[in-house]
């Protein structure tokens, strides 16, 4: 592929501004396309006969103007038209036909999901009360009878929650956004694991919040680093996924949970606990909403347990916040559509729903074992019943190049870049979602391709 090299003679001003202007012109003319990576700075500097510092300033100016986006450890890329200031979230598209997509954290497919949805829709279509609810306005926090059904179900899953604690949301992402917009004003500081869920990063950026990443290890967020951050500037809130970090799978240890709560109380910090990535009760620790109920908001969704398309979840919060949260929810969407809540409540009351979750728990354990077998000898981390596997690459390998190579061979995975908070350097690692494969046979096919690509000689790094 021919490297893009602009003619700076066409642009006035300093050399670095000419480079920025050339980037803008090339994007507008379609010479540089959304998602395309700009040439390495050293190579472009050599081609133009300028210093690398000039190119660096030119790229920075183009980024400041919103034309490109720099990714730590990866390069500088042309921004998509819809990217704005938020992290781009990847969704399946028609062009992925024939590709085994392991980039999204999804529950394993099962025909029971469609059957339970069909049964719920049929039952509701014959219920005059449900149809009446479906065409009228409801309370912003959700109908009490709906919250009671959801609370009973959550208790069967080992989550001790009461209906009066809950607000019904349009899924986990909505719950995170609602919590952030209620607790923090623009410009206030939010702390999170240095590698965390891209949706939380996106929500923080949409709210114009300052976001700081706290280093982590196999036991989750490091409390010594959090304490140092609190000494410099205490965050207004901390977002974390204590049961399994997304993407690494690290579980916040019991001692660190106690230390976190003590720090939060000492510095008056809100805690946003994301429990959307489901694990069986016996694999979960003591939830933060039990350790610090007065300052913890707990986010849960049906996405990883029932089906992502339902877009129904709950937000557990202290009663002192309920009025503010309800006001925020009304401002965003007035209410959650009651018809979809009725669908979920009907679904979870069926015996087949418990059967489906039992199957899913066992299936994910089997898929995790397959990943361990096929990728034996490589460094893996994750929970035994999770959809995600975090694979740290061998020394000398580059995640972006591996992702490109895998995609060429029909397998899509995620590199670390979307999970990086702020200026956190992207580790050379990839996330594979074993739950997303259509079945075990397809997963084995994908894992074989991953193993083969890992066994190949890494591509030589670009000269800088």
pLDDT by residue (tens digit) across 407-434?
Answer: 999 999 999 999 999 889 999 999 999 9
Domain 112-350 has CATH 3.40.250.10: no
What confidence tier does 80 reach under pLDDT thresholds 50, 70, 90? Answer: low
Q: Please give the backbone phi and psi of residue 220, each rounded to the nearest 5 degrees, phi first.
A: 95, -155
User: In the numeric block, which tokens belong to residue 45?
Assistant: 């500097």
- Rounded Cα distance between 91 and 310, Å, is 16
Residue 70 has a pLDDT of 81
User: In the numeric block, which tokens belong to residue 97?
Assistant: 């036909």
What confidence tier does 464 reach under pLDDT thresholds 50, 70, 90? Answer: very low
- Rounded Cα distance between 282 and 40, Å, is 49
Is residue 299 pLDDT above 90, yes or no? yes
List Cα–Cα distances, 349 to 62, 120, 153, 344, in angstroms. 54, 10, 8, 9
Residue 462 has a pLDDT of 40
Query: Which whole number is the average pLDDT over 70-74?
Result: 70
| Cβ atoms 341, 353 nearer than 8 A | no
Is residue 459 pLDDT above 60, yes or no? no
Residue 73 has a pLDDT of 63
Cα 109 off chain centre by: 20
Full-model pTM: 0.79
In the chain, CATH 3.90.1150.10 sits at 94-106+353-455
* Other Cβ atoms closer than 10 A to 346: 21
* Architecture of the domain made up of 94-106+353-455: Alpha-Beta Complex (3.90)
Residue 108 makes CB contacts below 8 A (sequence gap 6+) with 360, 363, 364, 367, 387, 435, 436, 437, 439
Q: What percent of the chain has pLDDT over 70?
A: 94
* Other Cβ atoms closer than 10 A to 432: 28
Residue 87 has a pLDDT of 45
According to DSSP, residue 140 is labeled T
Is residue 357 pLDDT above 50, yes or no? yes
CATH topology for 8-78? Arc Repressor Mutant, subunit A (1.10.10)
In the chain, CATH 1.10.10.10 sits at 8-78
In the chain, CATH 3.40.640.10 sits at 112-350
């Amino acid at each position: 592929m021919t490297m893009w090299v602009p003619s700076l003679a066409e642009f006035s001003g300093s050399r670095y501004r000419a480079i920025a202007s050339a980037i803008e012109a090339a994007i507008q003319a379609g010479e540089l396309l959304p998602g395309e990576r700009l040439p390495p700075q050293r190579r472009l500097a050599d081609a133009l006969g300028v210093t690398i510092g000039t190119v660096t300033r030119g790229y920075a100016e183009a980024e400041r103007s919103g034309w490109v986006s720099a990714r730590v450890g990866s390069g500088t890329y042309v921004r998509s038209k819809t990217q704005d200031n938020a992290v781009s979230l990847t969704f399946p598209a028609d062009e992925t036909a024939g590709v085994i997509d392991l980039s999204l954290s999804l529950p394993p497919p099962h025909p029971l999901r469609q059957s339970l949805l069909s049964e719920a829709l049929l039952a509701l279509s014959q219920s005059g009360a449900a149809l009446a609810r479906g065409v009228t306005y409801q309370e912003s926090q959700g109908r009490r009878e709906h919250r009671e059904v959801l609370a009973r179900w959550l208790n069967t899953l080992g989550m001790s929650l009461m209906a009066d604690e809950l607000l019904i949301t349009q899924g986990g992402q909505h719950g995170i956004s609602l919590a952030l917009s209620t607790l923090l004003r623009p410009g206030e500081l939010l702390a999170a694991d240095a590698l965390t869920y891209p949706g939380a990063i996106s929500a923080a950026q949409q709210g114009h919040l300052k976001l700081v990443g706290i280093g982590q290890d196999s036991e989750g967020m490091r409390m010594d680093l959090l304490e140092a951050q609190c000494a410099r500037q205490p965050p207004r809130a901390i977002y974390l996924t204590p049961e399994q970090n997304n993407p690494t799978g690290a579980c916040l240890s019991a001692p660190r949970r106690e230390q976190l709560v003590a720090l939060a109380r000492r510095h008056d910090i809100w805690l946003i606990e994301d429990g959307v990535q489901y694990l069986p009760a016996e694999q979960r620790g003591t939830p933060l909403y039990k350790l610090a109920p007065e300052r913890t908001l707990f986010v849960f969704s049906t996405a990883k347990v029932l089906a992502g398309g339902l877009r129904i979840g709950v937000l557990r919060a202290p009663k002192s916040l309920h009025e503010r949260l309800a006001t925020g929810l009304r401002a965003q969407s007035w209410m959650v559509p009651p018809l979809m809540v009725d669908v979920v409540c009907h679904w979870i009351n069926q015996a087949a729903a418990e059967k489906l979750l039992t199957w899913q728990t066992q299936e994910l354990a089997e898929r995790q074992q397959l990943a361990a077998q096929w990728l034996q000898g490589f460094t893996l981390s994750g929970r035994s019943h999770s959809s995600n596997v975090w694979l740290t690459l061998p020394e000398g390998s580059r995640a972006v190049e591996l992702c490109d190579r895998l995609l060429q061979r029909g397998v899509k995975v995620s590199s670390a870049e979307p999970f990086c908070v702020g200026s956190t350097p992207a580790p050379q690692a990839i996330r594979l979602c074993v739950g997303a494969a259509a079945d075990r046979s397809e997963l084995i096919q994908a894992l074989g391709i991953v193993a083969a690509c890992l066994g190949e000689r890494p591509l030589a790094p670009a000269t800088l």
